[in-house]
Amino acid sequence: MTDMADWDLTRLLAEWPYEPGRILARRITGGDGRAKLQLRIDLGVMQMEMDGRPDGLRPEGADSLLDYQKDRLSRYVSQSGASAGFVLSADECRALREEAVQYYHRYVALNAIGEYAGVVRDAGRNLEVLDLCRDHAALQSDRVMLEQFRPALITMQARAEAELALADSLPNQALAALDRGLAKIRTIFEEAGRPEAFDDDNAVQLLRGMRDALVPRLPASQRVELEERLRAALDAENYELAAILRDEIRLLNA
């Protein structure tokens, strides 16, 4: 019979004290020999699997509820020939949102320990949840409820992609990842009819700050590539990307 005292976390929490304002995460090896991810929170420690659903469960026999619903959608399209009639109930959307919170905690922890490939994976995965609910929720409230988080998700993914590129000494690819993120966020504001809010958005300022710090580190030869990308953007009438590239060229020449 297990001694109830063995369940006491006091010693564990004392050895890893919580620090307000800091994201404290670490990778450990679990009792099953597999890597686990721990996140220190104010009232304890959150432990997650490194892969699959963070809590290790397999809802409906799938890797996640998102995978289960994507499989349902795929089968529906195969049978009907279109996705228009596929609908997610309010309870299904709520369950997807609750699952997305688990992945949010994990990509925050992964980002804190520099596991950027996992950040790209989990942020991209949560963007899929937003898309699925937006396109197929039965209730309008469920279609829009998560959209407020889209710029932050895009930012997290773009920054992680840039960090991966920088680790491989590929600053031009890092710059391209940040540009893609900025272009996606600009599209969100334009489609919402609020293009004037783009420049003041926190997500935009984070990406621009990383980009502005990166551009001066590029070799002079990168100017030629940026100018070629600028010409291509103008030819395609992609004026949003062209504006970004002009800023980068200006910083490179400063």
Q: Which residues are CB-contacts of 229 (< 8 A; sequence separation ≥ 6)?
A: 241, 245
d(CA 150, CA 193): 16
Q: Please report, in angstroms and rounded to a whole number, the separation of the first and last CA atoms in the chain.
A: 71
**Per-residue pLDDT, 250:** 72
Strand, coil or helix: what is 72? helix
Q: Quote the pLDDT of residue 75.
A: 97
Where is pLDDT greater, at 229 or 74? 74
Domain ranges of the chain: 172-254
For 33-47, write each residue's pLDDT tens digit: 999 999 999 999 999
Burial environment of residue 143 by CB neighbours within 10 A (0 to 12, 13 to 18, 19 or more): middle
Give the phi and the psi of residue 157 in degrees, each rounded to 5.
-65, -45
Distance CA 66, CA 45 (A): 26
CB 44 within 8 A of CB 13: yes
Both tokens of 92, joined, read 């299904």
Predicted pLDDT at 226: 73
Taking CA 37 as the corner, what is the angle to CA 122 and CA 180, rounded to the nearest 5 degrees? 25
Tens of pLDDT, residue by residue over 239-252, are 878 888 777 777 66
Q: Which of 82-96, 142-156, 202-216 has the lowest mean pLDDT?
A: 202-216
> What residues contact residue 228 under an 8 Å CB cut-off, 6+ apart?
none
pLDDT at residue 171 in the model: 86
Q: Is the pLDDT of residue 3 over 80?
A: no
Instruction: For residues 205-223, give the mean pLDDT.
Output: 78
Mean predicted lDDT score pLDDT of the chain: 90
Residue with the bigger pLDDT between 230 and 188: it is 188
Rounded to an integer, what distance in angstroms lies between the CA atom of residue 14 and that of residue 7? 15
Mean pLDDT for the stretch of residues 110-136: 97
Beta strands in the chain (DSSP E): 24-29, 35-41, 44-49
Residue 254 clears pLDDT 60, i.e. is over it: no
> Residue 99: which pLDDT band, with cuts at 50, 70 and 90?
very high
pLDDT at 164: 96
pLDDT at 104: 97
Rg (CA), the chain: 22
Do 198 and 204 meet the contact criterion of CB atoms below 8 Å apart? Answer: yes
Q: How far apart are CA 151 and CA 110, in angstroms?
A: 19
Task: Report the predicted TM-score, pTM, of the whole model to 2 decimal places.
Answer: 0.84
Stretch 130-145: mean pLDDT:
97
Determine the average pLDDT of the residues in 45-65.
96
